[in-house]
Structure 1
Amino acid sequence: MKDLQELGTEDLREHVAAELARTRRRSAQLTDAVDDEDLVKQHSPLMSPLVWDLAHVGSQEELWLVRDVGGREPVRPDIDDLYDAFQHRRADRPELPLLGPTEARQYLSTVRDKVFDLLDETPMEGRRLVDRAFAFGMIVQHEQQHDETMLATHQLRDGPPALDAEPPPPGETALPSEVYVPAGHFTMGTSTEAWALDNERPAHEVHVEAFHLDTTPVTNAEFARFIDAGGYHDPRWWSEAGQRYRHKASLEAPRFWIRDGGRWMRSRFGHVEEVPCDEPVVHVSFYEAEAYAAWAGKRLPTEQEWEKAARFDPATGRSRRYPWGDEDPTPDHANLGQSHLQPAPAGAYPLGEAPCGARQLIGDVWEWTSSDFLPYPGFAAFPYREYSEVFFGADHKVLRGGSFGTDRAACRGTFRNWDFPIRRQIFAGFRCARTPIPDER
């Protein structure tokens, strides 16, 4: 997001209104693309029906903006429990008395009208929830996160393609396979980004030992070599937990890959096509990423290593907002926001290159790290424990960088995503790291 600290109150309101409208257009695109039968259907027990996500973003907007920030009368208090993500498992949501598509859209429209009403009179200071329009930014990011979830549901649905997008720009092959990041301190996290969420805070100094990092994410061709080498069936590369999951889920290849004679095909948003060799691999679990890294003689980077590679500028000694600098992402910097319905080939986006030389650290695929999702020193839950705090611990692994389905509002150098290590329906890939051998640079 642009530097909201520098905007006057009226400019800030205009920015909020534009972001709310832009985000809602994406939600409409994802839900208008299919008929009502598709909207109410559960396409996978891992996901909610699309109509649940649609009404859920309206429910959260009502709770935080209409009721809390605005102090207005509730619109639909009778549906609070239906759309509380902690009350009902995704697998059970189709059985709930959910709002139908027409009613859900009407509900969203009513809530949004009230939000635009109160936006004109809400002070943008004096209370932490509204300072620099934080609550509005939180709702924008929440809806964009559910838009990415709905995009993942589209990937899981059967039937003809419902979405379309231009292909991404070409990659570049004449790049070193890895970059070197020297040892030293850097500032991790943020205490100044106006719309940063609680788990990104506060900024703190971290020392990171020297390491090498893959210049780009691991590609489909590289991952296919792991498969061809018997990597899925060689216990040397798998952790104990990974081995159990591999057996239980009968893993043989990334999700959505299909073997067709001597070649790999994939299903992508209703299209069946040959797996592109030069694209970053996507739809792999943490355990698959971990096993590949072991097979390659490397490891997954820690979260601290990932962020240092993505943000630290040795020329100035400071941490940037993004790999390329402090300016907001543009289509020339990164593959974000569903502009392309696939990762760009490895080596794309030279303007998005980090000071260390790594590319595509933002966008294309979420990148698994080896780190558990834990609070930073001095963490304080805000504005509610259920956003981050209840997920802290070894059950969840951290992912960084965003994917082609992540919007720019919900992606920055400090942004932290997390999920169970078994997850494969998310747009996740990875890159490897390694510790230098003695006297190596």
Structure 2
Amino acid sequence: MTQDLRLAVAAELERARARTALLTDAVDDNDLVRQHSPLMSPLVWDLAHVGNQEELWLVRDVGGREPVRRDIDELYDAFKHPRGDRPALPLLGPAEARAYVGQVRDKALDVLDRVRLDDGPLVADGFAFGMIVQHEQQHDETMLATHQLRTGAPVLDAVPPPQARVELPEEVLVPGGAFTMGTDTEAWALDNERPAHTVEVPAFFIDAAPVTNARYAEFIAAGGYDDQRWWSERGWAHRQAAGLTAPQHWQRDGDGWACTKFGRTEKIVPDEPVVHVCFFEAEAFAAWAGRRLPTEAEWEKAARFDPATGRSRRFPWGDDAPEARHANLGQRHLSPAPAGAYPDGASPLGVHQLIGDVWEWTSSGFHPYPGFRVFPYEEYSQVFFGGDYRVLRGGSFGTDAAACRGTFRNWDHPIRRQIFSGFRCARDAGPELT
């Protein structure tokens, strides 16, 4: 069993590194060191940062080995240097960064071969290695977002997502009652996903799929960006200050809309989920539509609750790991898939595409669960609790399966939209259904 786990962990580490290489080898050195947006780090910073985190946790902490490059720790400490300041730092150049992450990886794999995977909570079930896999995959998604902000000729390619296979209802009723939120059993779950706890959720309706481009275009056509009624006070102030008139990367195309995806500008696909909208835009659309955004607990109940058994599943479709037929994950495609493209990934209640395609804004702030315990370090979750964040759920087409599950929690500032963010709406059920 231990050897099987070692092989599985090594495969996940190598799979993450292959994706990192794809994203960094796709551009020349000038693009690697350039800052493509003040919201993002240069790609070469992300490259060396994933190696530095791997060195800190796997080589030094788990392995007890001598540092590879202690002198660069501060350069790649995300808390010490805001993204906008990182281009001015004396960063490792592309060749040096590649050599560094390769040297760290060799040592980390040697640690994996030698360490006991039952010797304390940090390494039990390979947790520390899984944490590093998830960290690298999360930065790969961040680098993918940087590619979306990059100007110039396209450098990334992928096959189109599958077409819709089923026609979906507008919304689905989620029955009221208690369900188990969070997890105590997911081996690589991060501290903010723990512990499992019971939450009482009144009955509600939730959209069967994320809001589509066509539906969002209706909001624009109805003057949604110009009507203060639909916006919260903060949202309206941000809409005015930022000059928001449409999702990021949209532009007028005759009497319709086009959008730019990774250097290619095409007409919007009507039935694809809208992407690159901030929380305030999602909130305003929901108000215009006579609905609201779901709470985080509502989203998770819709995604995990099985009314036939009363238990919470790992994923909407069950407990098995995601396959290509279940969800649009892992950068297999470079856009969300049309609503109805993944019937095999639907929840027992008939809610579709809860995993993959677009991160979904919820109305909830980011807070610890009852009984939360820091593990293994405060800076992963605890320092963000109670800040100006909204929780996003479900992952996107750029999220890897290793960093996505029914309990996974993402969070960001409500003004952010460079991330692959969309949403779906919810509404209260009548008293007779509660």
TM-score range, shorter chain: over 0.9
CA RMSD of aligned residues (A): 0.8
Match of 2:173 in 1: 180
Give the structure 2 partner of residue 369 of structure 1: 362
Distance in 2, Cα, partners of 1:173 & 1:326: 23
Q: Distance in 2 between matches of 1:231 and 1:292?
A: 7
Instruction: Choose from 391, 399, 403 the match for 1:406.
Output: 399
Contact 2:55–2:104 under 8 Å retained in 1: yes
Q: What is the Cα deviation at residue 438 of structure 1?
A: 3.8
What is the aligned counterpart of 2:55 among 37, 57, 62? 62
1:133 aligns with 2:126: yes
Partner of 2:270: 277
Equivalent residues in 2 for 1:242-253, closer than 5 Å: 242-253=235-246
Report the Cα offset of residue 172 of structure 1.
Answer: 4.2
- Does structure 1 retain, via aligned residues, the 8 Å contact 2:253–2:267? no
1:156 aligns with 2:149: yes
Measured against aligned partners, the alpha-carbon deviations of 1:360-407 in whole angstroms (never above 9, x if no partner) come to 000000000000000000001111100001111150000000000000
How far apart are 1:260 and its partner, in Å?
Answer: 2.3
Determine if the alignment matches structure 1 residue 234 to structure 2 residue 227.
Answer: yes
2:428 equivalent to 1:435:
yes
Matches within 5 A, 1:28-427: 28-172=21-165, 174-427=167-420
1:437 to partner: Cα distance: 2.8
SS at match of 2:362: strand
Aligned partner letter, 2:351: A
Question: How big is the shift at 1:173?
Answer: 5.7
The Cα shift of 1:120 comes to 0.8
Partners of 1:296 and 1:224 in 2: CA distance:
12
Question: What is the distance in 2 between the residues matched to 1:129 and 1:12?
Answer: 15
Amino acid at match of 1:77: R
Secondary structure of the equivalent of 1:267?
A: strand
SS of 2:364's partner is strand
> Residue by residue, what CA displacement relative to the aligned partner does 1:24-76 show, whole Å, maximum 9, x if unpaired?
00000000000000000000000000000000000000000000000000000
The offset of 1:261, in angstroms, is 2.3
Give the secondary-structure state (helix, strand or coil) at the position aligned to 1:354. coil
What SS class does the counterpart of residue 196 from structure 1 fall into?
coil
Letter in 2 for 1:353: A
Deviation, 1:327, is 0.2
- TM superposition shift of 1:174: 2.3
2:7 aligned to which of 14, 24, 48: 14
Partner Cα separation in structure 1 for residue 184 and residue 17 of structure 2: 28
Report the equivalent of 1:3.
none
Q: Give the deviation of 1:126 after TM superposition.
A: 2.4
- Secondary structure of 2:85 counterpart: helix
What amino acid is the match of 1:280? P
SS in structure 2 at match of 1:439: helix
The sequence identity of aligned pairs, in percent, is 71
- Output the CA distance in 1 between the equivalents of 2:300 and 2:168: 21
The superposition leaves residues 74-129 of structure 1 with CA deviations (integer Å, 9 ceiling, x where unpaired) of: 00000000000001010010000000000000000000000111111110112111
Counterpart secondary structure, 1:233:
coil
Describe the SS at the equivalent of 1:92: helix
Letter in 1 for 2:202: E
> Number of matched residues?
434
Please state how far the C-alpha of 1:245 moved relative to its aligned partner: 0.5
Kindly tell me: are residues 440 and 188 of structure 1, through their superposed partners in 2, closer, same or farther at Cα, counting changes over 3 Å? Answer: closer
Task: Tell me the amino acid that sits aligned with residue 408 of structure 2.
Answer: F
In 1, Cα distance between equivalents of 2:357 and 2:180:
25
Runs of 4+, deviation exceeding 4 Å: none
Aligned equivalents of 1:211 and 1:330: distance in 2?
29
Q: TM-score, with normalisation over the residues of structure 1?
A: 0.98
Cα distance in 2, alignment partners of residues 320 and 254 from structure 1: 33
CA distance in 1, matches of 2:287, 2:262: 31
Equivalent pair of 2:166/2:341 in contact (CA under 8 Å): no
Please, what TM-score do these two structures have when normalized by structure 2? 0.99
Once residues 411 and 121 of structure 1 are traced to their aligned partners in structure 2, the CA distance between those partners, rounded to angstroms, is 28
Please list the CA deviations of residues 187-240 of structure 1 after superposition, one character each: whole Å capped at 9, or x if unmatched.
000011000000000000000000000000000000000000000010110001
In 2, Cα distance between equivalents of 1:160 and 1:364: 24
Amino acid across the alignment from 2:379: E
* Residue 440 of structure 1: how far off its partner (Å): 5.7
